[in-house]
């Protein structure tokens, strides 16, 4: 079952929602955040990327950064940028990107279900990033950004949500990236009870995007439970902020790779080494058209890589992923990148940035880029069901949830 907890959200005062809503903390760097928030005192980047309000020389993990996040969050409240919901509620969050749309339920989800793998994961986390978000949640005393969860769709839930979307939303705006965001409040006791009951029929939830946010929120919950003289399993820290989407509404984009050098190889030697496990041919189209195919960019030229038969175990749900095939047959043996989670020679570029970003990165001095075919949601859920994990940066979900529209305080329900 999926246990849900309504809560009294902090949310933008009407009229400031489009100014407050910000990208998630982990999809832009500090420099980009400074530029994006310039001249906008209302941007929630001041809370999720608080280093933008401090000297650039200060390390992003410095205690002053977390203190600034808390200060900024409290200022948003005292200045009236954010208002508090009067009663515990659930929320609906619809995103529209071009012809694509998806509607999720915003709720508190159970830390215990996360700890017992009823909320399933498909990626490992990095300790430094997990430590960072744990400290942020603890100091700010709030879940500032939601975790993106999915579940196998159920007709009864779809019908209930479609019915509730007939009501008047509290926010309805289009962000500067063209994505439309619409949010409804669900506060009637009958609706709350029905939705919570319907989700008890959902056997498992899956982390789609936000492994570090979910792990960090769970760590804070466990730490507070350990020092609580009267833990009940239903305290505010026993839940964390999430948006739950049915799996058949989600869009996964490619998650591409850029490598800084060719591991000491010349261009000719590199191409020869790649051709051991791939059929290599010049290409005019950067993006691969099907699984087991890759685009590769070296300065001035795109190539098409087609996997050779026998180079991967097709019956292994993890090893047969394209990200695994590339890792096991090229990144590790040819480029010497054995742990992409920690190797600083590799970087990852979300598909929303397009292949032009890959070309630009290589033309500006990096050595090689790889365009991937997107992982499917069925692959993700099958791997999570098997208790296995994907290689890092296997999936890139779009559109992204905005931070600051619904904030869950850990002060009380």
Question: How does pLDDT run across 322-365, given as a tens digit for each residue?
Answer: 999 999 999 999 999 999 988 999 999 988 889 999 999 999 99
Q: Are the beta carbons of 392 and 340 closer than 8 angstroms?
A: yes
pLDDT for 229: 94
pLDDT for 345: 97
pLDDT for 342: 86
Biggest CA–CA distance in the chain, Å, is 68
* β 368-371/301-307 pair status: unpaired
> Closest by alpha carbon to 277, among 331, 230, 227?
331
Neighbours of 151 (CB within 10 A): 21
What separation in angstroms does the CA of 273 have from each of 257, 270, 277, 388?
A: 18, 5, 8, 30
pLDDT for 27: 87
For helices 63-78 and 127-140, the axis angle rounded to 10 degrees is 40
Encode pLDDT of 33-85 as tens digits.
999 999 999 999 999 999 999 999 999 999 999 999 999 999 999 999 999 99
pLDDT for 168: 98
Q: Are the beta carbons of 207 and 230 closer than 8 angstroms?
A: no
User: H helices within 311-353, ranges in order?
Assistant: 322-326
pLDDT for 124: 83
Encode pLDDT of 157-168 as tens digits.
999 999 999 999
The whole-angstrom separation of Cα 385 and Cα 204 is 9
Domain with CATH 3.30.1760 in the chain: 254-373
Question: What is the radius of gyration, based on Cα positions, of the chain?
Answer: 22
Average pLDDT over residues 220-233: 95
pLDDT for 35: 97
What separation in angstroms does the CA of 372 have from each of 136, 239, 299, 315, 321?
A: 33, 35, 18, 20, 11
Encode pLDDT of 128-158 as tens digits.
999 999 999 999 999 999 999 999 999 999 9
Residue 6 token pair: 């309504």
- State the average pLDDT for the chain: 96
Residue 29 token pair: 């760097």
Kindly report the backbone phi and psi dihedral angles of residue 161, in degrees, each rounded to the nearest multiple of 5, phi listed first. Answer: -65, -40
The whole-angstrom separation of Cα 181 and Cα 172 is 6
pLDDT-derived band at 391, boundaries 50, 70, 90: confident
The whole-angstrom separation of Cα 346 and Cα 369 is 10
pLDDT for 259: 98
**H or E, element range at 409:** strand 408-409
In the predicted model, is pLDDT for residue 371 greater than 70?
A: yes
What separation in angstroms does the CA of 294 have from each of 133, 201, 253, 291, 361?
A: 33, 40, 14, 8, 18
Q: 168: which residues sit within 8 A by CB, 6+ positions away?
A: 184
Architecture of domain 254-373: 2-Layer Sandwich (3.30)
In the predicted model, is pLDDT for residue 412 greater than 80?
A: no
The whole-angstrom separation of Cα 158 and Cα 145 is 24
Encode pLDDT of 233-285 as tens digits.
999 999 999 999 999 999 899 999 999 999 999 999 999 999 999 999 999 89
Average pLDDT over residues 171-190: 97
Burial of 53 (0-12, 13-18, 19+ CB in 10 A): middle
In the predicted model, is pLDDT for residue 413 greater than 70?
A: no
Q: What percent of the chain has pLDDT over 90?
A: 91
């Amino acid at each position: 079952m999926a246990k849900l907890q309504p809560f009294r959200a902090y949310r933008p005062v009407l009229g400031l929602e489009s100014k407050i809503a910000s990208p998630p903390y982990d999809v832009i760097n500090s420099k980009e955040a400074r530029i994006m928030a310039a001249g906008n005192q209302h941007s929630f980047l001041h809370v999720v990327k608080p280093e933008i309000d401090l000297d650039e020389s200060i390390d992003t993990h410095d205690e002053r950064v977390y203190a600034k996040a808390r200060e900024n969050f409290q200022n948003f409240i005292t200045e009236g940028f954010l208002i508090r919901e009067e009663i515990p509620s659930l929320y609906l969050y619809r995103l529209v990107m071009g012809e694509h749309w998806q509607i999720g339920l915003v709720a508190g989800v159970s830390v215990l279900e996360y700890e017992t793998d009823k909320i399933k994961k498909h990626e490992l986390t990095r300790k430094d990033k997990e430590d960072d978000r744990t400290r942020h949640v603890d100091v700010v005393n709030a879940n500032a950004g939601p975790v993106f969860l999915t579940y196998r769709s159920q007709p009864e839930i779809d019908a209930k949500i479609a019915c509730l979307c007939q009501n008047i939303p509290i926010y309805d705006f289009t962000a500067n990236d063209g994505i439309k965001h619409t949010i409804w409040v669900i506060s009637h006791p009958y609706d709350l009870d029905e939705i919570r009951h319907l989700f008890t029929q959902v056997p498992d939830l899956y982390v789609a995007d936000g492994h570090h946010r979910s792990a960090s929120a769970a760590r804070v919950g466990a730490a507070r439970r350990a020092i609580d003289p009267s833990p009940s399993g239903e305290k505010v820290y026993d839940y964390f902020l999430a948006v739950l989407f049915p799996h058949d509404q989600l869009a996964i984009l490619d998650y591409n790779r850029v490598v800084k050098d060719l591991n000491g190889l010349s261009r000719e030697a590199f191409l020869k080494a790649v051709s051991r496990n791939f059929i290599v041919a010049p290409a005019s189209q950067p993006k691969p058209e099907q699984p087991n195919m890759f685009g590769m960019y070296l300065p001035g030229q795109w190539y098409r890589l087609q996997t050779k038969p026998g180079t991967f175990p097709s019956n292994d749900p993890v090893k047969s992923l394209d990200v695994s095939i590339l890792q096991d047959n090229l990144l590790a043996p040819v480029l010497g990148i054995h742990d992409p989670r920690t190797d600083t020679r590799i970087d990852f570029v979300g598909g929303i940035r397009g292949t032009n970003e890959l070309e630009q990165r290589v033309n500006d001095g990096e050595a090689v880029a790889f365009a991937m075919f997107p992982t499917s949601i069925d692959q993700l859920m099958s791997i999570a069901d098997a208790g296995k994990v994907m290689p890092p940066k296997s999936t890139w979900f779009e559109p992204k949830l905005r931070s600051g529209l619904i904030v869950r305080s850990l002060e009380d329900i």
